[in-house]
Amino acid sequence: MALATVRSLSYSYPGGLEALRECSLDLEPGEVVALFGPSGSGKSTLLRALAGLVPHFHGGRFSGRVEVAGLDTRRVRPAELAGTVATLFQDPEDQVVFTRVRAEVVFGLENLGTPPAEIESRALEALAAVGAAELADRPVAELSGGELQRVCLASVLALRPRLLLLDEPTSQLDPDGAAAAIELARSSGAAVVVSEQRPERVLDACDRVLFLDGGRIRDGALPEAWLPREAALPDAEPSGAPVCRLENVTFGYGRKPQVTLCYKEGERPAVENASLRVGRGEIVALLGPNGSGKTTLAKLAAGLLEPWTGTVTREGRACYLSQDPGRYLVAERVDEEAALAVGGDLSRARRTLAELGLAGYEGRHPRDLSSGERERLALAAVLVAEPDLLVLDEPTRGVDPERKDELTRLLRAQAPSRATLVVTNDHLFAASVADRVVSTAPERELAVA
């Protein structure tokens, strides 16, 4: 008997946006289903419907029927479904309730009425399972994105649900961490629905694939962009006149040691004696495991941080696009946002917006855009400045393969005019976009200028 059934489900958010159309599916106990589809195709909405959050939390127009473990989600509130269903949301930063890791994992267990004597042990067990046992007493604010994503995964696994809903659970994890997370979900024994933008990360682990397009579940083969690809990381020699050069750079977020660089326990620098060069015309991909200092190095290259020791030299203007840039938009109109970097030159901003497929959006408020559109706007807001050094930090996070291909083409087309440094843990993207790869992995030396 199916664990969950969805029958003729159509749903529109308040305000009229139709997210799902006539969706039907069955989920068997213990099976792993991968959910693919372009940004805005309804993947997150379908997961929310299975958790009862649609329509209870979001309102809107709901027709059809969703049943989980025999419970009709229209009649049972999401809090009552919790435990049977557990959801890991897209953005780990927005689902953290407590300030310390242990309390965060304990929260769900307490809500479900777990016997007090079991709560602590189950929380620690879940943390150990995701390889985060050592984080139990750390403040959440001090965790890296990847560590936080693992803690959130532990929070849902601790509930031992029968249906596990994962919305882009590996977006901030390095490939090894992603493989471990997916395997862990699979071995939990729950039925798993995992929405993912990087098919190669889940295809081997899943029993079947659903593809959503325009709110409908589409039958047939996956579109070409979604098929698994193999690509070797490029291994070219450094080329072009150097635009940015880091030499023996050390930097940490704590206080700088006064005389010599002797560090106390827990005060190691984020980057130590690193050297890197990026030449005009080349795209360099900066890879490495979570917490290895990729973002710090990128910020040092862009001039957003000053090194403790070592030198950073740059020629011309540098622009930096942060992780999750859609969160950091400040203007009231799309064209004004794009024009900020060029002193309010709206015509230049509109040209760049058109290049990124945002023509016609100029007068809209940036926060009214979808997440994919916000990401493109944020990219336009840096590209408009035509920088000599462009630094992009995880630009493919939450981006579907088709958009990723577009981004690759755009960066390749503009590459000759600048030096480009891309921080990513998406190896396929790195293979397709970069001329050269530099790793921050401890076992591999950085390319020396």
Partner 1 sequence: MRPAAAAALLAGLAAAALLAQRTISVAVIAALLLLLCLRAPAGRRRLYLVGALVSGLAVVVVTPFVEEIGTHVLWSGPTVPVLGHLDVTTEELRNGIFQGLRLTAVALAFAAYALLLDHDRLVSGTRFARRSVLAVALATRLVPTLERDAAGLVESLRGRGVEVTGARGRARLLSPLLAGSLERSLNLAEAMEARGYGRPGRTRAAQPAWTFGEKGALVLAVMLVAIGALWL
For residue 86, the SS3 value is strand
Residue 71 Cβ vs partner 1, minimum distance, rounded to whole Å:
14
Sites for partner 1 among residues 378-397 (CB under 8 A): 378, 381-382, 385, 387, 391
Alpha carbon distance 149, 158 (integer Å): 14
User: Per 3-state DSSP, what percentage of the chain is helix, strand, and coil (rounded to 5)?
Assistant: 35, 25, 40
H-assigned helices in 303-395: 334-339, 346-355, 371-383
Site string for partner 1, 229-268 (x = CB under 8 A): ----------------------------------------
Q: How do strand 191-195 and strand 163-167 relate by DSSP bridges?
A: parallel
- Least distance to partner 1 from the beta carbon of 232, Å? 31
**Site residues (CB under 8 A) for partner 1, limited to 357-376:** 367
Q: Exactly one of 41, 197, 322, 352 binds partner 1 (CB under 8 A); which one?
A: 322
> Strand pairing partners for 353?
none
Q: Residue 85: name the closest of 61, 56, 62, 64 by CA.
A: 56
| Residue 100 contacts partner 1 per CB under 8 A | yes
Residue 73: both structure tokens together: 């989600």
SS3 state of residue 351: helix
- 317: contact with partner 1 by CB under 8 A: yes
- Closest approach of Cβ 434 to partner 1, in Å? 21
Compute the least distance from the CB of residue 325 to partner 1, in Å: 7
Among 10, 107, 205, 449, binds partner 1 (CB under 8 A): 107
CB closer to partner 1, 115 vs 220: 115
For residues 142 and 263, give the distance between their C-alpha atoms in angstroms, rounded to a whole number: 19
Among 103, 203, 225, 447, binds partner 1 (CB under 8 A): 103
Burial 60-91 (b: 16+ CB within 10 A, else e): bebebebbbbebebeebebeebbbbbbbbbbb
Q: Between residue 124 and residue 153, which ones bind partner 1 under the rule CB under 8 A?
A: 141
CB of 107 or CB of 308, closer to partner 1: 107
In the complex, what is the shortest distance from the CB of residue 384 to partner 1, in angstroms, rounded to a whole number? 8
Counting residues that bind partner 1 (by CB under 8 A) gives 66
**DSSP notation for 121-187:** HHHHHHHHHTT-GGGTTSBGGGS-HHHHHHHHHHHHHTT--SEEEEESTTTTS-HHHHHHHHHHHHH
- 438 vs 302: CA distance, rounded Å: 16
Based on the shown chain and the rule CB under 8 A, indicate whether residue 17 belongs to the binding site for partner 1.
Answer: no
Smallest separation, CB 219 to partner 1 (Å): 30
Nearer to partner 1, 7 or 77 (CB): 77
The helix (H) or strand (E) run that includes residue 319 is: strand 318-321
Nearest distance in Å: CB 93, partner 1: 8
What region does 373 belong to: left with phi over 0, alpha with psi -120 to 50, or beta? alpha
Q: 36, 320, 361, 429: which one contacts partner 1 (CB under 8 A)?
A: 320
Binding site for partner 1 (CB under 8 A): 51, 53, 56-57, 77-80, 82-83, 85-87, 89, 91, 94-100, 102-103, 106-117, 119-120, 123, 141, 155-156, 159, 302, 304, 317-322, 325, 327-330, 332, 340-341, 367, 378, 381-382, 385, 387, 391
